[in-house]
Amino acid sequence: MKILDHKIKRSELKKCDFLMGGEMVKGVVDIKRELLAIDADLHADIEKFLLENGSKQLDLWGINLYLDGDLVEFDSMINIRPIQNNRSRFVEDEKTREKILEIVRQWINE
């Protein structure tokens, strides 16, 4: 598990310890601090790691990063939060999705 501290190539995701099915890595984005943390068995593990490193719960969103096809999938159990009007695993707010994509592009090159 790591918080990215430099931009990586999409192909470098292959080196992650928790490469799911050989094609996907779990990640959590802190939309306030513009951080991306990756590489754990569960989004909740990355979420906890970010919380221990200064992030706030309301700023964290779980995503899946794919080696092929669309890079980002907005699907995680940590995204279910009725208090923020997000009642599903999907990130329902379009502006939040756009912000997540912007942050992912800051850290991962196609």
Structural domain boundaries of the chain?
2-109
Give 34's DSSP letter: T
Query: What confidence category does residue 5 fall into, taking pLDDT thresholds of 50, 70 and 90?
Result: very high
**Which H/E stretch holds residue 97?**
helix 94-107
Cα–Cα dist 82/80, whole Å: 7
Looking at residue 94, what is its pLDDT? 97
| The token pair that represents 46 in the structure block | 């990355």
Convert the pLDDT of each residue in 9-24 to its tens digit: 999 999 999 999 999 9
Provide the percentage of residues in the chain whose pLDDT is more than 90. 98
